[in-house]
A and B are shown apart, each in its own frame.
Chain A
Amino acid sequence: MSRWEYAPAPESTDIASVADTYGLYIGGEFVEPASGDYFKTINPATEEVLSAIPIAGEVDIDRAVGAARKAAETWSALAPADRSKFMYRIARAMQERSRELAVLESMNGGKPIRESRDIDVPLAAAHFFYYAGWADKLEYAFAGRTTKPLGVCAQIIPWNFPLLMLA
């Protein structure tokens, strides 16, 4: 009787490509975990395996923190305006590929595309824009104080907002 059907969302899973396996990103390159252990991540909507993700252990974390500490020296020596340029670039790259990132977030986390497309990804980009804007203003932001970096910090990212938590 009724021919009431909604058109499919313009976002399709075809636009995102996922490799079979990923490494740990340490010191600017993807490396295997010391343990050699991986776990599978699935698309909750289809239960299809998306990729294999390494399980990081203590050794890996020590290596990552070490690499990050070394990088932080160069990073904090940069002029504030240059630091903000890098961060603006990240924010813009995120916006340019927002549809792809949103599809990936939905495939990985199982949340509706509306949520990842309208909230998670734009908000993640907005965070980078926000902090990029602060980089060259920190000197004036706190009267009578000099700001200095806190150093490397480690985060455990929950499953439900991976990209946003990173930002």
Chain B
Amino acid sequence: MATTAAFSLDLVDRIGGSVDAVGAEERAARLATRSIKKDSKLWALDLAVRCCDLTTLEGQDSPGKIRQLASKAMRPSPTDPSVPHVAALCVYPRLVAPAAAALMDSGVVVASVATGFPSGQTPLDLRLLEIERAVADGADEIDTVISRGAFLAGNDQTVFDEIVASKRACGDAHLKVILETGELGSYDRIRKASLIAMAAGADFIKTSTGKIPIAATLPTCLVMAEAIRDFVDVTGTEVGLKVAGGIRNSKEAIRYLVVIHETLGDEWLTPDRFRFGASSLLNDLLMQIDKQRKGFYSDPDRYTLD
């Protein structure tokens, strides 16, 4: 396989570093106590909406459901035009075409999972074909998974080469690389996998598929954000971070934003650099925005189910 990677795998060892697990958890726990109120909270909630990848990855998804979600993505709060649109609608490859047709040039982009999501256990040529088809159907962003089996067996070069090939298959589409941190077993491995993905050309690194019980956690987000910071220090190439899985309410979302702000700074508080992958988070954000403006909570039945 010819690699046209921007960096070589040696970069991973050159940046190196290891994670103090207890320290990372304590720091994340301490950052979780920072409080954001009033105007800043409203701004943070608005930012969280703008950073949302509204996601539906179910076997029962249909073009109809995608159209419905697309209208929600473009106008999350039908009665309140001041609420911004989300960043992307994230779907399975078969549903990219209806999603692209529904979203048109609304500013909400189409993201598609690919490469045998969520396990990644299909042959490489099929995985790459999946990416090419999704891009051809109109996907602007591709969420791929790494081969955890190869990574855990120590075949870093395989993982690296596959990401390089995926990046090439993406063409102009943005590549997000899912590490599935819940399967990696340690913060050190999460850091290493992050560095491999970035060296191989990932535009974003992403925590989880959301398909296994252990998904995004604050310490994981911190460890990955620190890996990005170190990567940027050495290469000058800026990489985004997407946290996904299990983030259901605004309070948690704001904690992630605090970790990003304190680790990577203000420049990362934008949809170009940071995303939430979530399905039920958006409704809670809408509720909290309403509460923040009106001073009282609305009935949850006033928000759409999907």
Contacts and interface: CB of A to CB of B under 8 A. Distances in A.
B and A form one assembly: yes
Interface of A: 1-7
22 contacts: A1-B266, A2-B266, A2-B269, A3-B39, A3-B40, A3-B43, A4-B36, A4-B40, A4-B43, A4-B44, A4-B261, A4-B266, A4-B269, A5-B36, A5-B39, A6-B34, A6-B35, A6-B40, A7-B35, A7-B36, A7-B37, A7-B38
A7 B36 CA distance: 5
A7 to B, nearest CB: 4
Contacts of B44: 4
Nearest to B39: A3
Contacts of A2: 43, 266, 269
For A4, A5, A7, the residue with the greatest tally of chain B CB atoms inside 10 Å of its CB is: A4
A2 B39 CA distance: 11
Contacts of B266: 1-2, 4
A2 B266 CA distance: 7
B158 to A, nearest CB: 40
A5 B43 CA distance: 10
| Interface of chain B, main secondary structure | helix
A117 to B, nearest CB: 12
Interface in B261-294: 261, 266, 269
Contacts of B36: 4-7
Nearest to A9: B35
Contacts of A4: 36, 40, 43-44, 261, 266, 269
Contacts of A6: 34-36, 40
A4 B266 CA distance: 8
A5 to B, nearest CB: 5
Interface string B184-203: 00000000000000000000
Interface string B33-61: 01111111001100000000000000000
Contacts of A7: 35-38, 40
A8 B172 CA distance: 45
A31 to B, nearest CB: 44
Nearest to A3: B43
Interface string B232-261: 000000000000000000000000000001
Contacts of B34: 6
A3 B37 CA distance: 11
A1 B270 CA distance: 11
B30 to A, nearest CB: 8
B44 to A, nearest CB: 7
Contacts of B37: 7
B96 to A, nearest CB: 33
A67 B155 CA distance: 76
A64 B36 CA distance: 50
